[in-house]
Amino acid sequence: MAALERTLVLLKPDAVARGLAGRILQRFEDAGLKVVGTKMVQIDADLAKKHYFDLEERFGKSVFDVTANFMQTGPVIALVLEGVEVVATVRRMVGATFPNQAPPGTIRGDFAHTSKAYTEAKGIVAANLIHASGNVEEAKYEVELWFSETELFDYQTVAERYLF
């Protein structure tokens, strides 16, 4: 049975600096997803380490360092979205990690174009605009890391009458 879930979305420093926050948020709302938490945060080294706790193990220290440093270059907008199978829905909407592999119609496919080969050759992070939790367990961990219970809201939208 389909489940009502919550997931974390981070609009990364490149999305904020490019002024894309409203356009990206609108895509989620247009899809009937509900924003139940939002805030702007300047990530410090401690939060980066907690958020990307397994990145070094999975991809190596250099990938962790580049990613953690990039995430500290400017503010991010953190969102908690709620909806039916929202984790998978948001992942589809965001598109592949490397924007040049993301199809048109996805957030990364429409607003970015960086390739893995280019970023690896330059030793830079893929400016891919957005982070979205990878699975339900990761979403639970990330939502709890970024938001306290008092920062999350339960309310009914008009769309819920028709979508949920």
**Residues known to be catalytic:** 131
CA distance 109 to 1: 31
CA distance 5 to 105: 23
Nearest to 44 by CA among 79, 66, 71: 71
CA end-to-end span of the chain: 13
Q: Which two tokens stand for residue 39?
A: 């805030």
Positive or negative CA dihedral for 150, 27, 33, 53?
A: negative
Q: At 102, phi and psi to the nearest 5?
A: -85, 130
Asked if 51 contacts 45 with a C-beta cutoff of 8 angstroms, the reply is no
